[in-house]
């Protein structure tokens, strides 16, 4: 029997400022009412988002004023380093590994810029080895968490005796621009949260339990650059959401899953768990219809959306953490992990748990 690279453990951390969804709705009404005539039509976005609580690096008053890209980015570097380190230390304690055990680090983000990248800072803060291999991955947005896992998978296929530390930190709130009166900015205000996740993965020659990654899949949709992303402008990172996203999910998700499973001699009835990135309630509902599954199939994704909002790349790693906590491993159950991101693209992997 071939043993594949595995996910050994996942830990998370969130910033200190908690904002309830009703508070976020009141904030949006205060900021946008004088500039948007149809604000009353848009405010139900907050009530229908399926979100109760979100976490941010700054208090809600901070969002009322304009801040330069430089100021936002300095906040990102400081907070991302702290949150990434906090999640990684929890992971080390839970998994019983020391900094010297880590052979490679992947760092995933889209909501801040840094050179040296955050992984370099984390190597210093965490005391990782001087000969560690490192790969920062930037710009994949919500798909970045799954993409980071697929890159770790590829690395571990070639280095079966190694351990990988994958860290994703997204501070989506810092991209908010109070003078941007677009619908995309309102949607972001209703959905985005902040958080960090750290994942320990190991190759098949490393002893220990974990959920095996059986296969990965990347899909790029040509001529779809306008669907999702951020415009980098002088005021910061201006969010872009296209209303076509749920329609693309409805069109693409089912056939993509069928093809992915067929490549691995499986059918949808063989999949017990669907660990999909909860980009929003409309996206999750589109997945439900496209995959022809019950609400319960996406329950873990919905629960993370409710508790944290959309934290871009880190969100699906929160879903995996909750999955590992609540679902006992049998070694025989299959799960599909998937997320969409700028490009427009999807990233997926098949787990045996």
Catalytic residue among 142, 172, 189, 345: 142
How far is it, in rounded angstroms, from Cα 100 to Cα 335?
Answer: 31
104 is catalytic: no
* Nearest C-alpha neighbor of 217 from the set 62, 349, 91: 349
- Three-class secondary structure assignment of the chain: CCCCCEEEEEEEECCCEEEEHHHHHHHHHHHHCCCCCCHHHHCHHHHCCCCCEEEECCCHHHHHCCCCHHHHHHHHHHHHHHHHHHHHHHHHHHHCCCHHHCCEEEEEECCCCCCCCHHHHHHHHHCCCCCCEEEEEECCHHHHHHHHHHHHHHHHHHCCCCEEEEEEEEEHHHHCCCCCCCHHHHHHHHHECEEEEEEEEECCCCCCCCEEEEEEEEEECCCCCCCEEEEEECCEEEEEECCCHHHHHHHHHHHHHHHHHHHCCCCHHHEEEEEECCCCHHHHHHHHHHHCCCHHHHHHHHHHHHHHCECHHHHHHHHHHHHHHHCCCCCCCEEEEEEEECCCEEEEEEEEC
Q: Taking the mean position of all CA atoms in its chain, how far away is CA 167?
A: 10
Q: Annotated active-site positions, please?
A: 142
């Amino acid at each position: 029997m071939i043993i594949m690279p595995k996910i050994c453990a996942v830990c998370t951390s969130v910033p200190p400022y908690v904002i309830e969804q009703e508070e976020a709705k009141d904030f949006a009404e205060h900021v946008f009412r004088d500039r948007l005539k149809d604000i009353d039509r848009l405010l139900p976005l907050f009530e229908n988002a399926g979100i109760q609580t979100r976490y941010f690096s700054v208090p809600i008053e901070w969002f009322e004023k304009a801040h330069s890209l430089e100021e936002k980015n300095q906040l990102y570097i400081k907070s991302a380093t702290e949150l990434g380190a906090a999640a990684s230390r929890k992971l080390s304690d839970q998994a019983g590994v020391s900094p010297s055990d880590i052979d490679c680090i992947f760092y995933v983000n889209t909501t801040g810029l840094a050179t040296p990248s955050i992984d370099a800072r984390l190597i210093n803060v965490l005391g990782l080895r001087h000969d560690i291999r490192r790969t920062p991955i930037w710009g994949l947005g919500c798909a970045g968490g799954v993409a980071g896992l697929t890159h770790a998978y590829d690395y571990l296929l070639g280095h079966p005796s190694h351990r990988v530390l994958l860290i994703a930190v997204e501070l989506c709130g810092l991209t908010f621009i109070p003078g941007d009166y677009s619908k995309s900015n309102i949607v972001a205000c209703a959905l985005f949260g902040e958080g960090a996740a750290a994942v320990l993965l190991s190759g098949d020659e490393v002893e220990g339990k974990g959920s095996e990654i059986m296969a990965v899949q990347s899909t790029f949709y040509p001529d779809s650059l306008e669907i999702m992303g951020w415009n980098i402008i002088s005021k910061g990172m201006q969010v872009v959401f296209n209303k076509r996203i749920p329609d693309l999910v409805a069109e693409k998700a089912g056939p993509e899953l069928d093809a992915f499973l067929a490549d691995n001699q499986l059918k949808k009835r063989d999949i017990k768990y669907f660990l999909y990135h909860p980009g929003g309630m409309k996206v999750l509902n589109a997945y439900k219809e496209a995959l022809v599954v019950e609400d319960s199939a996406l329950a873990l994704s919905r629960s993370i959306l409710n508790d944290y909002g959309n934290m871009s790349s880190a969100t699906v790693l929160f879903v995996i953490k909750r999955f590992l906590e609540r679902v006992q491993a049998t070694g025989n159950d299959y799960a599909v992990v998937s997320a969409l991101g700028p490009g427009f693209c999807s990233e997926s992997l098949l787990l045996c748990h």
